[in-house]
Amino acid sequence: PSNLEMEAAEYEKRLRAFLLEEGVPLPTIRQVILSSVVPDLTPVILEVFNQFYEGNITIVDGVLLTRLELGNINPFELGSDLAANAVGAFERFQQGVIIVDFGTALTFTSVNDQGQILGVAIAPGVRTAMKSLSSNTARLPEIPLEIPSKVLGNNTVEALQGGIMQGYVGLVRHMVQQVKIEMGGSPKVIATGGLSFVFKPLHDLFDAMDVNLTLDGLRMILKRLA
């Protein structure tokens, strides 16, 4: 078998196990939409679905995003996950909204009252920043992604947690404040991404937290295209 087939077989096993755990029988799948920010994996995942799904697969790319008319932002440079976040958040609030996504990158996406994307700001994600520092510095241990009670640490782990974790609290607060100024009005703020729940000192900043926002956005994109 080719490398593509071998990779696809491995991902298919994982997908089948996940669907089994969630109690989703394969025959009940009626539509598939694919959002990928890893181009090399896109053909692999397509091959996975070709094994048990005979319908058309909707891929969120620049051409599809052009049809959604999300504003003046370049649809061919906009990450499909950010587009899904924008659609999901606007459908939820029906007004201007700022989406803070704590993923591999830390992203801030602003959407106006008409559901169009005004712009995006991107910073390295917390885990990315931590790994970058650890991999380029000798004798640094693996750092738990926890927010310490104080900024000044008494050992290496506490020092890194203070600098990075507490530092990101300030970064997010400043960015949300600045985006609100640039947007005007009173936008809602929603957080998503697995690490959003780690940053408890920021929870007062958010009107909502939803780790499934991107998935809901993909579902909404399918509805818009119907």
For residues 98 and 143, which has the higher predicted lDDT (pLDDT)?
98
54 and 86 fall within a common domain: no
Does the structure show a pLDDT above 60 at 159? yes
In a domain, 157, yes or no: yes
Residue 142 — very low, low, confident or very high, per pLDDT cuts 50/70/90? confident
Q: Helices 3-21 and 42-50: crossing angle, nearest 10°?
A: 70
Task: Domain of residue 149: give its range.
Answer: 76-217
pLDDT given for residue 153 in this prediction: 86
88 and 192 fall within a common domain: yes
pLDDT given for residue 160 in this prediction: 85
pLDDT given for residue 226 in this prediction: 83
92 and 31 fall within a common domain: no
In a domain, 226, yes or no: no
Residue 184 — very low, low, confident or very high, per pLDDT cuts 50/70/90? very high
Residue range 136-154: mean pLDDT, rounded: 78
Which range among 69-73, 111-115, 138-142 shows the weakest confidence by mean pLDDT?
138-142
Residues assigned a catalytic role: 81
In a domain, 70, yes or no: no
Query: pLDDT averaged over the chain?
Result: 91
177 and 120 fall within a common domain: yes
Does the structure show a pLDDT above 70 at 65? yes
In a domain, 151, yes or no: yes
Q: How many domains does the chain have?
A: 2
169 and 138 fall within a common domain: yes
12 and 87 fall within a common domain: no
pLDDT given for residue 23 in this prediction: 92
Asked whether the beta carbons of 91 and 220 are under 8 A apart, the reply is yes
In a domain, 116, yes or no: yes
Does the structure show a pLDDT above 70 at 120? yes
pLDDT given for residue 1 in this prediction: 61
In a domain, 64, yes or no: no
9 and 80 fall within a common domain: no
What whole-number distance in Å separates Cα of residue 148 and Cα of residue 163?
10
pLDDT given for residue 141 in this prediction: 66
Which range among 59-68, 94-103, 143-152 shows the weakest confidence by mean pLDDT?
143-152
pLDDT given for residue 157 in this prediction: 82
Q: pTM of the predicted model, to two decimals?
A: 0.89
The residue out of 13, 33, 59 marking a domain boundary is 59
98 and 123 fall within a common domain: yes
In a domain, 173, yes or no: yes
153 and 49 fall within a common domain: no
In a domain, 222, yes or no: no
88 and 53 fall within a common domain: no
pLDDT given for residue 106 in this prediction: 96
160 and 115 fall within a common domain: yes
89 and 199 fall within a common domain: yes
Residues of the chain with pLDDT > 90, as a percent, come to 68
Report the CATH number that the domain containing residue 84 is assigned in CATH. Answer: 3.30.420.40
Which range among 1-5, 13-17, 169-173 shows the weakest confidence by mean pLDDT?
1-5
